[in-house]
Each structure stands twice: as structure tokens, then as C-alpha cells.
């Protein structure tokens, strides 16, 4: 496989009263095409910052972010905007989708903003909704969807842009267990079948069992990694007990 995303000794600091806070401390990782890599860590570990740097939304203070041989941190603002529109899609677990739009319009808008033909945009949107098993909600208003349906709509919006890199920040954090399982399996199939590079974070290690590798981020430091065979448990890091059906 080809390495699509390489993060090389990236450090990111935030100014705080009393001294800087180091959100990422010389973090290095790579993601290949067709691979789904998970990053496990508690709240405040630096997971969201990692994805924002990978997406070109923030520049690192040190180190490099290399996408398909190009340095993202060295791109101009216009080049980074084009990169995010054409190459990368982001799914943020804590960001709600806007009310007032139909699901189809919500998925189609980014393609129209990128000056795509409306018929082509709607065809792609329909295909993405079908892949996410939410095509029956195409004409439904976003504010009428369940949390699980909203997250599927957000994924469909990302897929419609045909990204080569997908970044997902705790995408199933507000979903019931059964919806979480289906959503993470969908991301894994996207990596496997469409050869997309997927980098996903979560504070619940059990949510990452579909990942080929799981990296452990703690207080801005990437400590270790381990393979996760099949649907086996994430290891060697401690994981919470498997939730019961009553939690769903």
C-alpha cells in the first residue's frame, strides 16, 4: 500500500496564562491508502488537535504534515482550502448538522460550493446516501432525524466529495451501541473497499475495534501502537468493560 498521510514529529502549542500548553509533542504517524488507523486517548489528550493539523485547519509549530508527497503546512490558505475540498473529508462528532435543510441538500451543498454540476452533485449525493443506508431520508429535514441518522448524513456528506483521506473525530460519541458498531463498520468498509485512508479518534477504545492499528495518545504524546486482529479487543491499552444491551 501507499502511504497517503505522514505526520512527522509534529508539535503544536497553545498559549495559556501561566505558560504554553503542549497539545501535540513530537507526534509521528502514517496512514496508508486502504487503511483505517485509530487514535485512542482521553479527553484533552490532543486527538482533535491532531486531526485539525492533519486537515490543514491549523499549522504545527514544529514538524511536517505530508499528504501524497506535498507539505500541507507549507501550503497557502487558498491551497489548503482546495486540499480540504478535493482531497480530505472531516467528520466532527461534537458538531451538529444545521436544521432547515433536507438531507439531500445537506449532502449536495459542498459539491455545489466546489462548482460541481448540480446533476452530478445530486447523483453523487444519492450514491453516498445509499452507501450509508439513509437514502430513504433524502427528502427529510435534518431536524427530524435521530442522532444516528444525523451522523450517517454527515458521513454521506463526506463520502459524496469522494475524498482520499477521511478524518473522523469521535464520530460515534453520541450514538447508541448498535449505531456505533454500524457506523464504525461503515468507515472500515470505506477504507477496505474504496481504498480511502481513514484516521479516526475516540476516547472509548472499544469503538476502535474495526481499526487495523490503534495508536495511544496521552497528554500530547504518541506512546505506542498495536495491531488489532479482526474484531479482537484493542490492546495493550486498558479498555472499559463492554457495554450491555441496556446501554444501547
- Stretch 87-102: mean pLDDT: 78
pLDDT at 96: 60
Residue 95: per-residue pLDDT: 54
241 band by pLDDT with thresholds 50, 70 and 90: very low
Going by the DSSP 8-state scheme, the letter that residue 68 receives in this structure is T
User: Cell triple for residue 49?
Assistant: 488537535
Which of 44-48, 163-167, 174-178, 198-202 has the least mean pLDDT?
Answer: 174-178
Write out the H or E segment, with its range, that includes residue 59: none
Per the DSSP assignment, residues forming a β-bridge with 11 are 62
Mean pLDDT of 154-179: 85
Look at residue 88 in the predicted model and tell me its pLDDT: 93
Q: Structural domain boundaries of the chain?
A: 1-87+167-248, 93-162
With 80 as the cut, is the pLDDT of residue 229 above it?
no
With a pLDDT cut of 90, the percent of the chain lying above it is 42
d(CA 75, CA 66): 11
- Dihedral of CA 215/217/222/223: which sign? negative
- Residues 49, 25: Cα–Cα separation, whole Å: 11
Q: Distance between CA 86 and CA 103 in Å, rounded?
A: 21
CA-to-CA distance for 157 and 110, rounded, in angstroms?
Answer: 8
Q: How confident is the model at residue 114 (pLDDT cuts 50, 70, 90)?
A: confident
- The 10s digit of each residue's pLDDT in 5-48 is 999 999 999 998 878 899 999 999 999 999 999 999 988 899 99
Query: What CA–CA distance (Å, rounded) separates 197 from 195?
Result: 7
Are 8 and 54 spatial neighbours (Cβ–Cβ below 8 Å)?
A: no
Find how far residue 125's CA is from the centre of its chain: 19
Over 80: is that where the pLDDT of 2 sits? yes
Q: What are phi and psi of 66, to 5 degrees?
A: -115, 120
Give the integer Cα–Cα distance in Å for 129 and 147: 16
End-to-end CA distance of the chain: 37
pLDDT at 33: 94
| Average pLDDT value over all residues in the chain | 84
pLDDT at 98 over 80: no
CA-to-CA distance for 215 and 233, rounded, in angstroms?
A: 14
**What pTM was estimated for this model as a whole?**
0.83
Rounded to whole angstroms, the Cα distance separating 136 from 121 reads: 18
Class of domain 1-87+167-248: alpha beta
pLDDT in tens, 119-151: 989 999 999 898 888 899 999 999 898 877 888
Taking CA atoms, 207 is separated from 53, 104, 171, 182, 185, in Å, by: 23, 28, 10, 11, 10
Amino acid at each position: 500500500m501507499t502511504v497517503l498521510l505522514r505526520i512527522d514529529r509534529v508539535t503544536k502549542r497553545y498559549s495559556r496564562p501561566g505558560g504554553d500548553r503542549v497539545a501535540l509533542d513530537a507526534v509521528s504517524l502514517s496512514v496508508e491508502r486502504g487503511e483505517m488507523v485509530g487514535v485512542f486517548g482521553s479527553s484533552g489528550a490532543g486527538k482533535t488537535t491532531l486531526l485539525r493539523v492533519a486537515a490543514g485547519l491549523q499549522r504545527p509549530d514544529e514538524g511536517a504534515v505530508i499528504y501524497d508527497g506535498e507539505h500541507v503546512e507549507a501550503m497557502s490558505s487558498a491551497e489548503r482550502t482546495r486540499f480540504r475540498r478535493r482531497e480530505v473529508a472531516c467528520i466532527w462528532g461534537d458538531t451538529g448538522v444545521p436544521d432547515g435543510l433536507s438531507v439531500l441538500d445537506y449532502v449536495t451543498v459542498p459539491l455545489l460550493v466546489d462548482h460541481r454540476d448540480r446533476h452530478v452533485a445530486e447523483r453523487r449525493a444519492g450514491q453516498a446516501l445509499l452507501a450509508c443506508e439513509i437514502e430513504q431520508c433524502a427528502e427529510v429535514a435534518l431536524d427530524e432525524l435521530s442522532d444516528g441518522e444525523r451522523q450517517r448524513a454527515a458521513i454521506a456528506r463526506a463520502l459524496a466529495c469522494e475524498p482520499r483521506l477521511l478524518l473522523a473525530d469521535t464520530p460515534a460519541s453520541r450514538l447508541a451501541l448498535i449505531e456505533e458498531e454500524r457506523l464504525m463498520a461503515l468507515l472500515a468498509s470505506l477504507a477496505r473497499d474504496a481504498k480511502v485512508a481513514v484516521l479516526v479518534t475516540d476516547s472509548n477504545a472499544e469503538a476502535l475495534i474495526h481499526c487495523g492499528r490503534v495508536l495511544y495518545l496521552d497528554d500530547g504524546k504518541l506512546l505506542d501502537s498495536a495491531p488489532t486482529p479482526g474484531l479482537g479487543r484493542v490492546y495493550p491499552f486498558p479498555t472499559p468493560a463492554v457495554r450491555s444491551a441496556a446501554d444501547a
